[in-house]
Structure 1
Amino acid sequence: MRMLSTRGVAPPASISDAIAAGLAPDGGLYMPESLPTFAPTDFDDDATLAQVAKHLLQPFFAGDALERELDAICDTAFAIEPPLRAFGESGDFILELFHGATAAFKDYGAGFLAAALAALPRGNKPLTIIVATSGDTGAAVGAAFHRKPGVRVAILYPDGRVSPRQAHQLGCFGDNVRAFRVAGSFDDCQRLVKTLLSDAAFKQEVPLGSANSISLGRLLPQMAYYAHASLAHSRATGRSLNFVVPTGNLGNAMACFLARRMSLPIGRIVLANNANDVLAKFFAGDDYAPQSSLSTLANAMDVGAPNNFERLQWLEPDATALRTQLSAESVDDDEIRDTIVDAFQRHGETICPHTACAVRVLQRLRAEGVEGVEGDWAVVSTAHPAKFPEVVEPLIGREVPLPPALAAMLERPSHAQALADDAGALRAILHD
């Protein structure tokens, strides 16, 4: 299957080439030329997450150099089954995506991308993966690529705008993984990444790739856990599963949207923003208007210019039609705090600030009696609460136990290099 740029200028690419490049040469984002459709019964023989992923992704890799590697890649990336379990008192569910190496949902996509790139032939020069992070992406990418031969990783994060434990994770790898604390916002980090990825001359000297949700190698695999959860629910109940997805850069929610477009048994999709409400405003009827990002308790969603909105517009250029297919709500910091307290006191659940945004949105929709809110709903839990002790622990009045993998990371020394918000400075560093 061919991959096309959302901007329509770059020539079509194979999925291998699209994954290796990250960003299309015209600055656009790669998208599949078409989306396959499935019936739920197509997956009757696929019980595990890895099995569902192989079946779901195979049409995109058909005839590609990576096709014969796909099964092994999926076995590696999707070894951990994400629990879909009961949550609260209203018959709701929670999809826990934080049981991987860095306690965040991005471990799945990063693991897939690392395994895919390892299977592709390389030139004599190392490939430099450059990634912007608002907290969780960088650690997942660092863990996936740590000590992988022929690959270097440069993690860019906004200085002072990630949690202390996130910052420690970002700088704890060493070896082929370097962390840079940028004097700016996540949007500034993202702009630096896109500037370098669009610099054809520099890429001739320093081969570059991306591990943000810019990359199809990150985005497409994330469809798998939505397919797996919705299929399991459909088999058990005969009903579709609706999702509330916390989102900042729109990659995780975009994966859910694509899975539904491929006819998986997914019902409504509601996006949960923090106070960075660009998407909430758009889906309420305003023009799409990127803005400077705000610092919030749900810092991994502190994005004012969501990259993947370009993909949404490419799939559905008509804004009115798009607003019939998705909706979005924003949640401020006070509501995040209240929801964390409420979840713990009423249900004994400890949730991270990002998950709290999704929980609050579902509560709000139910309280307002919004049409179509009936049915079976799952909130998507994107990170372990132990990554945010300075937020969560004072609210619930107790310590959040560390998952073993996160505890091991926090025991390592950590270092991040200061970096100005300047593409020339980054080029000079990566040229060494």
Structure 2
Amino acid sequence: MKLYSTNNHNLAVDLETAVFNSLPADKGLYMPNVLPKLDDAVIAGWDKKSLQEIAFDLAYALLKDDISAQDLRAIINDAANFDAPLVPLQDDTYILELFHGPSLAFKDFGGRFMSRIMAHFLKKEQKEIRILVATSGDTGGAVALGFLDVPGIKVTILYPKGKVSPIQELQLTTNGNNIEAIAVDGTFDDCQALVKKAFHDPELNEKFNLTSANSINISRLIPQMFYYANSYARLKNDYEDIIFVTPSGNFGNIAAGIMAYKMGLPVKRFIAATNSNDIVPQYLTSGNYQPRPSVQTLANAMDVGDPSNFVRIMDMFGKDLDALKQMVGAYAYNDEQIKTAISEVYNRKKYVLCPHTATGYLAVKDIKADDEQNKDKAAYVILSTAHPCKFPDVFGELGINYEEPEQVKALYQKEKQVKQMGKSFEEFKAFLINE
């Protein structure tokens, strides 16, 4: 597979270069030169295949020139060794539970797949790799567990101090070994800016082989296609259409779904559900894209004021806003609406939505109100991105109980190892050089 930059379609690099470099020098994002269309017969047979078999069909179509079928199957079977069940919520609405991996968040799919892809290439190259990752909550935990004790790789995770949940912070800071955590006195956008500046700093790139495990890295997006396709396979015989509703912060998750659609996955529409950081919903309404500093919300993993992956989405639609709006919609909700939705679903169904998933539930209600003609034809799939246990303060306030997973109980016994830092790039650079 060859990849180009969203800022330069004439660029052509191989998969290994894109995985380890993360960002092109022109500050665009890597995208596959071609998103190959899968045969209709392959897609038609997915209802008889497992998630891992469907994942192989998608990944092999993209990566067959870079990784052998045998190695790719082994990577997928090891990385995606947990389920992503569809749970019926009401008649035509399903919750796609993506929190059954080790860090209890959807980002386990991307983090585990990426770590194994890198390990595959490292066997050949014997490189020493330094991974820098910014997190607003769940990415860091998934990356930490995905890369823990992987030979030849050291991971530095930056997170906004005081703006992640207690469980998320424990997942970031209790690993040790090749994983280090830095609490930045700022927002997620400040953390992301530090990472991006580091990738473009000549002195740091001379000293380290830098790469990222954020969704800016193409190897994070590829495995996130898997559960969209698997959901379609489970529902395709019962519904004419499927509408995916994706809680969205940095817009990598929904970008992966759109990649699967471009490869032939039959989808009627994608809906991005956001919190008060509503840059994309505003853009789809006004046509004016205006990034701004992020604000803190209950759905903290979506507290992003300048979503990096939105440029990939625009690239896939040829930067044509009208074409984008035909396939992608977006809604935004504030904290009070999120809490009301959580309480409503718990009282009615005894099902616990995390704050991110609650934005998806609210979006489905609005979609149905706006689209009566498709009411009986479509299945609505809400991507549930994190286990409720990551947000104890929210559910304590609402008086909602949930069962805490065993791996979370074990975290309380571990000691946090974290460094404190301001948002100055000079301070961050000096830390990396001198540690």
TM-score (norm 1): 0.95
1:426 partner amino acid: F
RMSD: 1.8
Shift of 1:18: 0.7
For structure 2, which runs of at least 5 residues remain unmatched after alignment? none
Shift of 1:371: 5.7
The correspondence for 1:379, drawn from 382, 385, 408, is 382
Q: Which residue of 2 aligns with 1:53?
A: 55
Shift of 1:370: 5.8
The correspondence for 1:391, drawn from 394, 412, 427, is 394
Are 1:115 and 2:116 matched, yes or no? Answer: yes
Residue-by-residue CA offset, 1:269-309 (whole Å, 9 max, x unaligned): 11100000001101113311101101000000000000001
The correspondence for 2:212, drawn from 210, 216, 220, is 210
1:405 partner amino acid: Q
Q: Which residue of 2 aligns with 1:248?
A: 249
Q: Which residue of 2 aligns with 1:128?
A: 130
Moved more, 239-248 or 129-138: 239-248
Q: Which residue of 2 aligns with 1:106?
A: 107
SS in structure 1 of the partner of residue 8 of structure 2:
coil
Shift of 1:398: 3.9
Shift of 1:369: 4.3
Q: Which residue of 1 aligns with 2:64?
A: 62
Q: Which residue of 1 aligns with 2:27?
A: 27
Shift of 1:41: 2.8
SS in structure 2 of the partner of residue 349 of structure 1:
coil
- 2:332 and 2:372 map into 1 onto residues whose CA distance is 16
- After superposition, the Cα gap between the structure-2 partners of 1:353 and 1:8, relative to the gap in structure 1 and judged at 3 Å, is same
Structure 1: which 4+ aligned runs deviate by more than 6 Å?
Answer: none
Shift of 1:403: 1.4
Q: Which residue of 1 aligns with 2:92?
A: 91
SS in structure 2 of the partner of residue 266 of structure 1:
coil
1:377 partner amino acid: Y
- After superposition, the Cα gap between the structure-2 partners of 1:66 and 1:171, relative to the gap in structure 1 and judged at 3 Å, is farther
Residue-by-residue CA offset, 1:172-216 (whole Å, 9 max, x unaligned): 111110010111110111111111112244212111110000001
Shift of 1:91: 2.5
- After superposition, the Cα gap between the structure-2 partners of 1:191 and 1:152, relative to the gap in structure 1 and judged at 3 Å, is same
Q: Which residue of 1 aligns with 2:2?
A: 2
Q: Which residue of 2 aligns with 1:171?
A: 173
Residue-by-residue CA offset, 1:94-142 (whole Å, 9 max, x unaligned): 1000011011000010000000101113766621110000000001000
- After superposition, the Cα gap between the structure-2 partners of 1:208 and 1:95, relative to the gap in structure 1 and judged at 3 Å, is same
For structure 1, which runs of at least 5 residues remain unmatched after alignment? none
Residue pair 2:245, 2:360 contacting (<8 A) in 1 also: yes
Q: Which residue of 2 aligns with 1:15?
A: 15
Residue pair 1:243, 1:380 contacting (<8 A) in 2 also: yes
Q: Which residue of 2 aligns with 1:232?
A: 234
Residue pair 2:268, 2:327 contacting (<8 A) in 1 also: no
SS in structure 1 of the partner of residue 286 of structure 2:
coil
The correspondence for 2:420, drawn from 407, 415, 418, is 418
2:288 partner amino acid: D
- After superposition, the Cα gap between the structure-2 partners of 1:410 and 1:49, relative to the gap in structure 1 and judged at 3 Å, is farther
- 1:60 and 1:368 map into 2 onto residues whose CA distance is 37
Residue pair 2:122, 2:152 contacting (<8 A) in 1 also: no
Moved more, 255-264 or 100-109: 255-264
- After superposition, the Cα gap between the structure-2 partners of 1:3 and 1:373, relative to the gap in structure 1 and judged at 3 Å, is farther
1:254 partner amino acid: A
- After superposition, the Cα gap between the structure-2 partners of 1:339 and 1:156, relative to the gap in structure 1 and judged at 3 Å, is same
Residue-by-residue CA offset, 1:318-347 (whole Å, 9 max, x unaligned): 112211120100011010000000000011
Residue pair 2:111, 2:146 contacting (<8 A) in 1 also: yes
Shift of 1:69: 2.1
Residue pair 1:40, 1:231 contacting (<8 A) in 2 also: no
Moved more, 123-132 or 300-309: 123-132
Shift of 1:10: 7.8
Q: Which residue of 1 aligns with 2:187?
A: 185
Shift of 1:28: 1.2
